[in-house]
Amino acid sequence: MTNFASASDKGKFRQILKEFLSVLLFVLLLLAGAAFLMNLHIPSVQKYACNMEKVVQWKKKPHFVSNGRYFANGQFQSKERVHTGNYSVKTNQQNRFALAHKYPNLTGQELVTITAWRYGGNQKNGSIVMSVPNKVLWKSGATVIEKKENGWERIQLIQSIPMAAKNKALTIYLWNTSKEIIYFDDLTVKIEQKEVL
């Protein structure tokens, strides 16, 4: 125990200690509040794309590859119709699905926006699909957000991921439900964490 020369010195020490602890508590609360607010108001965003230009063997099958991400059905790469670059992916009655890709470890707080360029056939039958296993989510859509005179249309699907998808994988792919040929090119994926208030 500290010895004080007088009761006055003991009172001063207690006052200084009380003020120090008050300032320390205020600073800690301020830092904790700032950290909490940063988590609420700065959602993380991941963006990636596939332009159909490069095909490699991955898991013993041809896949499109872009920035270290793999997309299925690289064997259907085509030069017949392209939006940009030299290649697209060709879908038809025998090959209805293209560019299947898995995004693992969902938090259940994502907002996912996918776009792709589409050409040919009855274009209303070419769509984007998002799914999460065990009937958690299955969504198909093709909202046209841009058209070009050369016949290419940019389609989009936006979906909020439910909390039931937490720790599961999201699968995205393009789907041709028609008997006609439809080409897809320039896929983009944007996954952002929703703000939690």
Q: pLDDT (tens digit, 9 = 90+) per residue, 142-176?
A: 999 999 999 999 999 999 999 999 999 999 999 99
pLDDT score, position 4: 64
User: Which residue in the block uniquely carries the two structure tokens 């700065």?
Assistant: 42
Integer Cα distance of 105 and 77 in angstroms: 29
pLDDT score, position 167: 95
pLDDT for 42 beyond 90: no
- Per-residue pLDDT, averaged over 60-80, amounts to 95
Confidence of residue 28 (pLDDT cuts 50, 70, 90): confident
pLDDT for 1 beyond 80: no
Confidence of residue 12 (pLDDT cuts 50, 70, 90): confident
Summarize pLDDT for 105-129 with one digit per residue, the tens. 999 999 999 999 999 876 678 999 9
pLDDT for 17 beyond 90: no
Residue 51 or 16, more confident: 51
Confidence of residue 13 (pLDDT cuts 50, 70, 90): confident
Determine the Cα angle at 178 with ends 177 and 183, to 5°: 90
Residue 32 or 139, more confident: 139
- Per-residue pLDDT, averaged over 174-186, amounts to 94
Integer Cα distance of 116 and 72 in angstroms: 15
In 41-181 the beta strands, taken as DSSP E runs, fall at 45-50, 55-58, 61-66, 69-72, 77-78, 88-91, 97-103, 110-119, 126-132, 137-141, 143-147, 153-160, 170-176
